[in-house]
Amino acid sequence: MWLFTKEEYDNLKREHLKKKNKTPKGFVSVKYDLPFTLPLRDLERSLFRYEEQDIVMMTRFKTRDEKSQKYYPFLPIAYTETEIVICHYEHIEAEKSEKKMHEAVDLTFDFLQHFIDSLIVKLDPPGIQRISRQDLPAAFPVSVIRSTNFKPHSIEISMVVNPHGNHVLKSQKRLTSKQLNSLIGFVNETNKTSSEFVTSILYMRESKSYLTKGHYNSAIIHLQTSIEIFMYTVYRLILINKEKLSEEIIEKKLKTNYNNLLTTNLSNFFSDIGYTFNFDKKDDPSNLLNDYKEKVYMIRNKIAHEGYRCSENEANQAFTVGKEVLQNITDEINQSDLKKYIFQEGINIESRTFLYD
């Protein structure tokens, strides 16, 4: 049973599409069974703008019957049926339906990944994970609707093969209308302007996820990657917006090693606002890197280069220190003139809580 019906289209047209002064002539809809529950209301319908396309997303929460659970015990009992619909403003010719189906799977899956990434970065809900096609069923139902009257003769349904697999779940607290609207804005914004800090935040979210699952080495590796991306991004934006250097010179400066980046390059800019970047100092209120070298950087190097297996306590300590380092740097940037050079575009990291809490 498809979620996007004539009734849903009429509601969508009345609520959203009338503002666009144009009417769709058809749709291509793809269904995905996500191996976790999304924090949305059942039968939630939302309109997004992605890659210059109007995209509708609807969700329904389902549980597998006893027979399915018996024969497919590796699949989650509860899951989210997600239907993603592309609005077409030109007539879809019957002979092009198959091509449109395959194109729709590619576009809607890219959108789904982008939506989940945005959800993780913006709200960090428990149990949500980044996905690949390996996390999904072996085929995707696809529907081509060639007319807005939704007559049976204008609808073609098929399956597009996904040569991969499925797992995981956690119950979700449903988003409020305010949270959903904020998320929609965030999804749309980060599609138009690629944020400088999204990748860093995603690595931090993955570090946290690995930590909760007991994958301590992976947690520390992702933590250190998150911090390095953040530091290089801060330096690059200073060079672009404060120093006004050419792209060629910036690329040369960014080739510096990580130790020099912190203790020489970034240290020069943060010393101007009363702070230092010192790997070796501890318990110094002016040092933004207290304990970072010992608790995070050196343990990550031991894991990567010596095959070291860190303990749960070491991983928890590392995550706490790494989180505090980035939170404190974020605070000081926001309270100084550096803010206008670093957080002037893309995502506004207005507070420490945006990153990790």
Contacts of 199 (CB under 8 A, 6+ apart): 229
Residues 319 and 297 in one domain: yes
Amino acid identity for residue 301 in this structure: N
pLDDT in tens, 135-186: 788 889 999 999 999 999 999 999 998 875 544 445 678 999 999 998 898 8
Residues 185 and 203 in one domain: no
Which residue reads 């031991």 in tokens?
Answer: 302
CA distance 220 to 304: 10
Residues 202 and 313 in one domain: yes
Contacts of 269 (CB under 8 A, 6+ apart): 238, 242, 338
Residues 281 and 297 in one domain: yes
Domain, as residue range, for 122: 6-191
For 219, counting Cβ atoms within 10 Å of its Cβ (0-12 exposed, 13-18 middle, 19+ buried), the class is buried
Q: Does the reported pTM lie above 0.85?
A: no
Residues 204 and 79 in one domain: no
CA distance 329 to 265: 15
Sign of CA dihedral 117, 207, 329, 257: negative
* Three-state secondary structure string covering 246-312: CHHHHHHHCCCCHHHHHHHHHHHHHHCCCCECCCCCCCCCCECCCCHHHHHHHHHHHHHHHCCCCCH
- Structural domains of the chain, count: 2
The percentage of the chain sitting over the pLDDT mark of 90, rounded to a whole number, equals 48
Torsion of CA 67, 72, 73, 76, to 10 degrees: -100
**Is residue 30 situated within a structural domain?**
yes
**CA 108 to each of CA 29, 101, 198, 327: distance values in angstroms, whole numbers, following the listed order:** 9, 10, 20, 34
Which residue reads 């050079």 in tokens?
Answer: 341
Amino acid identity for residue 253 in this structure: K
8 A C-beta contact, residue 332 and residue 275: yes
Residues 80 and 225 in one domain: no
Task: Provide the angle, in degrees to the nearest 10, between the axes of the packed helices 298-306 and 312-334.
Answer: 130
Residues 237 and 95 in one domain: no
**Is residue 1 situated within a structural domain?**
no
Residues 45 and 187 in one domain: yes
**Is residue 167 situated within a structural domain?**
yes
β-sheet bridge partners, residue 142: 30, 158
Amino acid identity for residue 196 in this structure: E
Chain centroid to CA 112:
10
DSSP summary character for residue 21? T
**CA 45 to each of CA 10, 39, 177, 226: distance values in angstroms, whole numbers, following the listed order:** 12, 13, 12, 33
Residues 63 and 27 in one domain: yes
CA distance 23 to 15: 13
**End of a domain among 133, 165, 191?**
191
Residues 237 and 287 in one domain: yes
**Is residue 313 situated within a structural domain?**
yes
Give the DSSP H/E element, type plus range, for residue 154. none
Each of the 357 residues of the chain gets a pLDDT tens digit; together they read: 899 999 999 998 887 776 667 889 999 999 998 888 899 999 999 999 999 999 999 999 888 777 666 655 656 677 889 999 999 999 999 999 999 999 999 999 999 999 999 999 999 998 898 887 777 888 899 999 999 999 999 999 999 988 755 444 456 789 999 999 988 988 887 775 556 788 888 999 999 988 887 788 999 999 999 999 999 999 999 999 899 999 999 999 999 999 888 888 888 888 887 777 777 666 677 778 888 999 999 999 999 999 998 988 899 999 999 998 898 888 888 888 888 888 765 445 554 445 545
**Is residue 78 situated within a structural domain?**
yes
CA distance 72 to 75: 6
Residues 220 and 277 in one domain: yes
**End of a domain among 159, 191, 223?**
191
Question: Coil, strand, or helix at residue 158?
Answer: strand
Tell me the two tokens of residue 231. 């530091």
CA distance 297 to 225: 10
- CA 214-168-197 angle, to 5 degrees, is 70
